Structure 1
Amino acid sequence: MSNQAPYIPRDLSWLSFNYRVLLEATDKSVPLFERIKFLAIYSSNLDEFFRVRIASLRQVDALDKPDIKKALYHMPQEVLDSIYEEVNNQQDEYGRIFREEILPELFDNDIHLYQNENIRPEHRAFVVRYFRSKVLSYLQPTILSQGKKAPFLENRAIYLAVKLQKPGSNHVTYAHLNIPSGELPRFISIPQPGHTQYLIMLDDIIRYNLTAIFPGYIILGCYSIKLNRDADLAIEDEFSGDLVNKIRTQLDQREIGPPSRFLYDSEIDPDLLDFLVEKFKLNEKDLVSGGRYHNLYDLFSIPEPKKESLTYHPLAALHKPALENIVSLFDAIDSEDRMLHFPYQSYDYVLRFFNEAAIDPAVTHIKVTLYRIAHNSFIANALISAARNGKKVTVFVEVKARFDEENNLRWAEKMEKAGVRLIYSIPGLKVHAKVALVRRRDEEGNKKHYAFFGTGNFNENTANIYADHGLMTSHAGMTDELNNVFKYLHKRKIPKEEFRHLLVSQFNLDTRFVKMIDKEIAAAKEGKPASIIIKLNNIEERHMIDKLYEASQVGVDIQLIVRGICCLRPGVKGLSENIRAIRIVDRFLEHARIFIFHNGGSEKMYLSSADWMRRNLHDRIEVGFPLYDPKLKAEIRKLIDLQLQDTCKGSLLDKHLVNHPIVGREDCQVRSQMDFYEWLRSQEDNTLPDLN
């Protein structure tokens, strides 16, 4: 892959991000069990990557349509080759971290996790008893004979491939056996007196009891295998028929999609691997060598340690006293715009926004977009209550939110039965905006709108770990424009007036960003101060990258905080030497999108749900919103300044997207997430009890 190309392939860029996640597992300043969680996050991310991105790349590569391939920035097969090489290197590093750093530190903390070793005599009775009482009924051992049809390998499930032989026979038999990690815990704690906590994986309990599963056979070998399948929904025609029913049908198909990765133990007998490839009709491109254990995202479920020092202390969500001792949240919003920062501040105020709207007799209408709904959603329940209380409730539910389709459909059905007016996905578009609008009558009977604009989902569960922001406002211009957005979602009615306050994809979002960049370019050409600060999850869209390159070349100072995909090459002389890009990976998932333009000294500041990717700018409904209140702008500025100075968890990205520590971790001075939390706490009296 050429290092001279001005754009980095998005998938290689994403692997750079996931590698940064993996590196967090090596940071000794992070409690041990939190580092283990980063191993789980890395594994979960990579699993989804193979189910979606690799499957898509391989489909494109298989097309006999050069024009489609040319539309990509790089040829698919070239990208795939680079991906496999990088993934193999990262997997080797993953294994090294686990073996050489995590396991020894577990041992040093009196925790022994069995890994490819003989079970101690004092533990064998428990292992056999657990197997017989808990495991045996879930197993489906199958002899894989040549003539019989191969059993179906479930998506993401793990199996043991076993090599068997009858005593006195030269004939080798192969079998496969499920590991029921979806039904049983993957990590089991062995009762043991004393300080040492012994853990064993479900895989090894089954391995120890293989002779009971295959009586009369000699066990010659046993190796873990796993199949990932293409899990992206393929709706051939969104524009005709019932889209919801089509999605329901596709959900049933997701788990039986074509293979995208066959992961196997690198120690597997070559003859057994050849047999499995033929038996399950696998392609050589499907094969990926791995370790003894797969699905290590199950590390999320490793039993909690007895020592409190091995995990983070809970970080109590901060309260805003100005929003506590009030009768009406809407009256508080009337007095001034209100901003919340999650997970640093309590999400209860968002819940109150919906709960109060549901019972307030002055509220007549509620409109909201829902992209990823919490499994047990307080917000959805509030909307149901509002409808039952006679409010006119309109909810746009995005049923194409990947891997949340089923849960979103479930809640949509509940809300519809309660009288909520449901609007489902727009054919050809996803609605990714995080917005809500409440219509309320004042004491004189005049109607007034109140809006919530967010950078993250209306999801009280993810709000505990996703770093996002929300604005509550009654600003007439912003709320009127948001009402026009909802009219467009409902009736596809194009607004008569242009959006002056909001940035809305399909209308003005990308063009307004280009104009603001052009203004900085013009200022730089005149020798005036010019700067741009952009924080987002992903930057891929080529024409936006080109505008930043253009700005850099005339001297505009550009600071990027990019969590994930970054197809832009920063710091290239003559191209992007005035662009600095950093990445922050810490306790919370950076999720907000923030855009700050110098604007001749009168900074313009926008927050949004939109990344700079083709899908966000052209194939989705996104909403960006301005901050007008100087106090709120100062809060966001404080956060951004801390993040740009983060020497603890910030990594500087070079032109190859290598993650470079800004300083040695032992010398770090600024840890933006924790410092912002402390700064917010210093601004408020947070003596109230937390209800979360």
Structure 2
Amino acid sequence: MPKAKESKSTVKLNEPQYYFNRELSWLEFNNRVLHEALDSRTLLLERLKFAAIFSSNLDEFFMVRVSGLKEQVEAEVSQLTPDGRTPQEQLDAIERLLRPQVVQQHRHFEQELRSKLSSVGVYLLKDTDLNQEQRVYLERYFEKHIFPILTPLAVDPGHPFPHMSNLSLNLGVVVKNPKTGEENFARVKVPDIVPRFITFPQELQCHNEHPTVWTGVPLEQVIACHIQSLFPGMEIQESCVFRVTRDADFPVQEDEAEDLLLAIQHEISKRYFKGSAVRLEIQASGCTFVRKTLMQGLKLAESDVYDIEGLLNLKDLMFFMSLPLPDQKDSPWTPVVPPRLRQVHELSKDKDLLEIANGENLFLAIQQGDLLVHHPYESFSESVELFITKAATDPKVLAIKMTLYRTSGDSPIVKALIAAAENKKQVAVLVELKARFDEENNISWARQLEDAGVHVVYGLVGLKTHTKTTLVVRKEGDDIRRYVHIGTGNYNSKTAKLYTDLGLFSCREDLGADLTDLFNYLTGYSLQHSYRKLLVSPVNMRDRMVSFIRREIDHCQNGHPGRIIAKMNSLVDPQMIATLYEASQAGVQIDLIIRGICCLRPGVKGVSENIRVISIVGRYLEHSRIFYFHNNGQEEIYIGSADWMPRNLDRRVEAVVPIEDANLVKQLKNILDIMLADNRQAWELQPDGQYLQRRPGAEETEQSAQKILMEMALQHSL
């Protein structure tokens, strides 16, 4: 913990001691995810889900963040982070913090979760657990379904070290030639076209004469048990399972690319095979020969190798969420239809009513006043998707413009946009090709949209378009009216069921004019530098947000209370953090609800003692961004797509919108208050960087913000 400062005059707010490291803060977030897998209060299958998410998160962390640090080390980058670390110092700190977490995760699965699965009739069997009938079945299964697609690859002077695809599961095998006594290494890839967990047929489902819900074995275990059949005449000395993670973050020289789409397609092809290896996970029982061969072939150091007890690649535990064990997972949630849209929803069910009536009622509902929707508590399909699908068929709609950052694989929204173009409407869509790990999906949609006659723009050079905005232009009588949707989350029906997000529907003229200007900026050569209501990155958002914080400082210095509440995914930007420190020093009371990375150090005397930081990790991924400023009683509150990170404020196109309807302001303040009162899934950040989980006191009842918001949504739907 840094030494406390006595007064503002002695404090230099850019000193490293006042900042947490970005990468280590993210690891602390992922550790909170892991805690949900460890917490006995979490239902069993949900614990497996959180263990899977922890592993999936780590994969991306190594593919992007660790690989980036390694590249900096190789390039001899000397610039320090705000917390004063070199790239190598960050890598060293990551390893020290992460290794115990990985050990804890795998040990917990092997020693506790496996047995708990057995107690509810789910048996993931080891080879020593199998009876004779099960062994015979697996032998036949191997011969029929697995053996024909396996390809053993030898490594010797005549066979170069094989290239192993990113995140692939493999067996490393040491074989001995009985004639020469020579030992060699061979690699066998575990095929990903075969299910990871092999389910026994119904007649073999019982275990120790007890009926089961599910009984099966991991695929790699079956291959290992029959590995001799791949090397006839050779002696198998040892074999072990391993997994390789590669650099999957690729740079695209946009200013040099004649065709951005083709350039990104070319780089995507490198992701699975060409990126340098950054991590090797290997069974702890793996032999020295395999380990040494892999480290040499992959050019990895000991610090890059993670020894795993038991099952590798625990993100595949998500498979068990499909089992028929309703008592062991969260009850299904059906999002409610927002009350004002309920009439439109009922009309949509009546096939005898014309589509035009549905569309008319939807737009009339928005004309009644600004409408706020909160997902997944309220239905995405019966609000956002309905808005776009009805616009596509409404004869009064002249044009639809929207941004697509990430969307689902079977997107009803994309289908609606295609239908709109076929209905002779002007449709313009910005598809962000640089949305990491969604590039292929977005390229596919972009081509389909272009084929249908939609005007497709691929984004701005040097900027990612991350804003979540839709503009619908409608002719009503002799007038043109513009309808807008501005949200915090992607236009993705699948993640809308898993992420908490907010969206504003409005037909206010100033917002319609702002979005018109924004889309002209995105699709043409507009140099728009001012907006009526919107805060837009990289144009004016940073300066405006700083000015709002400084306004709270001014109120405090003039003897009035200052108050800020900000909810976002990540807080990284040094300027925003330093400005918050200044506000704390002036007496502004600040509550931050930061799900993931937080580089601000709260509770430091003379610097941040008026700042509190909580993180909520629960059933849904907290994704909404809300910014509240007391403003001496003239409250202002905003929602939008941007976190306070350099990339969001400087290198992305983002939009944040003010909420001006008094009832909606009250609704958002209530959401923030519920979040701040959470004592079930909330963690509080301490000055030393540790997070302490809140627990109800002796006289308190347990309050889960997400549970309360679900209950409120049900009440409002009655």
TM-score normalized by structure 2?
Answer: 0.91
The CA distance in 1 between the partners of 2:463 and 2:533, in whole Å, is 23
Structure 2 Cα separation of the partners of residues 568 and 116 of structure 1: 49
Aligned twin of 1:149: 160
What per-residue deviation string (whole Å, max 9, x for no partner) do you get for residues 175-196 of structure 1?
211111x211111222324522
Q: C-alpha separation between the residues in 2 aligned to 1:70 and 1:513?
A: 23
Confirm or deny: 8 A CA contact 1:259 1:286 kept in the other structure. Answer: no
1:293 aligns with 2:311: yes
Aligned to 1:573: 605
Q: How does 1:183-262 map to 2 (within 5 A)?
A: 183-191=193-201, 192-193=205-206, 194-196=210-212, 197-238=214-255, 240-255=257-272, 256-262=274-280
Distance 1:321 1:6, change over 3 A: closer
Q: Any conservation in 1 of the 2:2–2:18 contact (CA below 8 Å)?
A: no
Query: Which segment is superposed worse, 323-332 or 559-568?
Result: 323-332
Matching residue's letter, 2:402: V
Question: Residue by residue, what CA displacement relative to the aligned partner does 1:348-380 show, whole Å, maximum 9, x if unpaired?
Answer: 221111111111111111100000021111001
Which is further off, 12-21 or 189-198? 189-198
Instruction: Tell me how far apart the structure 1 counterparts of residues 127 and 547 of structure 2 sit (CA, whole Å).
Output: 60
> Which position in structure 2 is the counterpart of 1:318?
336
- Give the structure 2 partner of residue 430 of structure 1: 464
Hey, what's the Cα distance between the residues in 2 that align with 1:532 and 1:71? 24
Q: How far apart are 1:119 and its partner, in Å?
A: 2.7
Distance 1:40 1:2, change over 3 A: farther
- Counterpart pick for 2:143 among 117, 120, 132: 132
Tell me the CA shift for residue 640 of structure 1: 1.1
Q: Please name the residue that 1:10 is paired with.
A: 22
Q: 1:29 to 1:507 in 2, by over 3 A?
A: same
The CA distance in 2 between the partners of 1:226 and 1:495, in whole Å, is 49
- The 1:139/1:640 distance shift into structure 2, 3 A limit, reads same
- Deviation, structure 1 residue 464: 0.8
The corresponding residue for 2:660 is: 628
Give me the CA root mean square deviation: 2.0
Cα gap change, 1:30 to 1:292, in 2 (>3 Å): closer
Q: Deviations over 1:652-681 (max 9, x none)?
A: 111233221111699751100010111122
Alignment correspondent of 2:453: 419
Where in structure 1 do 4 or more consecutive aligned residues deviate above 6 Å?
A: 1-4
8 Å CA contact 1:60, 1:69 repeated in 2: no
Q: 1:251 deviation in Å?
A: 0.9
- For the pair 1:52 / 2:64, whether they are aligned, the reply is yes
- The residue type paired with residue 647 of structure 1 is N
Cα distance in structure 1, aligned partners of 2:131 and 2:597: 46
Matched, 1:586 2:618: yes
* 1:688 counterpart residue number: none
Tell me how far apart the structure 1 counterparts of residues 446 and 688 of structure 2 sit (CA, whole Å). 44
**Counterpart for residue 544 of structure 2:** 512
Deviation of the 1:310 alpha carbon: 1.2
Q: Which residue of 1 aligns with 2:120?
A: 109
Name 1:278's counterpart in structure 2.
296
In 1, are the aligned partners of 2:678 and 2:703 still within 8 Å (CA)? yes
* Of 536-545 and 107-116, the range deviating more from structure 2: 107-116
- Number of matched pairs: 681
Q: Once the two structures are superposed, what CA deviation does each residue of 1:196-238 show, in whole Å capped at 9, x if it has no partner?
A: 2322111111111122222233332211112111111211343
- Separation of aligned partners in 2, 1:21 and 1:71: 26
- Whole-Å separation in 2 of the counterparts to 1:409 and 1:210: 40
SS of residue in 2 equivalent to 1:507: coil
The residue number in structure 2 matching 1:410 is: 444
In structure 2, what is the equivalent of residue 679 of structure 1? 712
2:368 alignment partner AA: S
Partner residue in 2 for 1:558: 590
Structure-2 residue corresponding to 1:494: 527
Q: CA deviation at 1:269?
A: 1.7
- Residues 321/557 of structure 1: CA separation in 2 closer, same or farther (3 Å cut): closer
For the pair 1:374 / 2:392, whether they are aligned, the reply is no
Shift of 1:7: 1.0
Written as runs of structure 1 = structure 2, the 5 A alignment for 1:608-647 is 608-647=640-679
Given the superposition, is the C-alpha separation of residues 528 and 351 from structure 1 closer, same or farther in structure 2, using an over 3 Å criterion? same
Give the superposition deviation at 1:166: 4.3
When residues 665 and 107 of structure 1 are mapped into structure 2, their CA distance, relative to the original with a 3 A threshold, is farther
In structure 2, distance between residues paired with 1:2 and 1:149 = 52
CA-to-aligned-CA distance 1:430-481 (integer Å, 9 cap, x gap):
10000000111112x2111000001000111110101001111001111111
Secondary structure in structure 2 of the residue aligned to 1:188? strand
Q: State the alpha-carbon separation in 2 of the partners of residues 453 and 228 from structure 1.
A: 37
Matched to 1:404, the amino acid is D
Q: 2: distance between equivalents of 1:592 and 1:382?
A: 25
Equivalent residue, structure 1, for 2:392: 358
Distance change (3 Å), C-alpha of 1:576 and 1:353: same
Q: CA deviation at 1:132?
A: 1.4
Partner residue in 2 for 1:602? 634
Decide which of 392, 409, 414 is 2:426's aligned counterpart.
Answer: 392
After TM superposition, the score normalised by the length of structure 1 is: 0.95
Structure 1, gaps ≥5 residues long: 686-692
Within 2, Cα distance between the matches of 1:142 and 1:384? Answer: 47
Distance 1:466 1:584, change over 3 A: same
Cα distance in 1 for residues equivalent to 2:234 and 2:328: 44
Question: What's the % identity of the aligned pairs?
Answer: 37
CA distance in 2, matches of 1:321, 1:574: 47
Give distance in 1, aligned partners of 2:104 and 2:409: 35
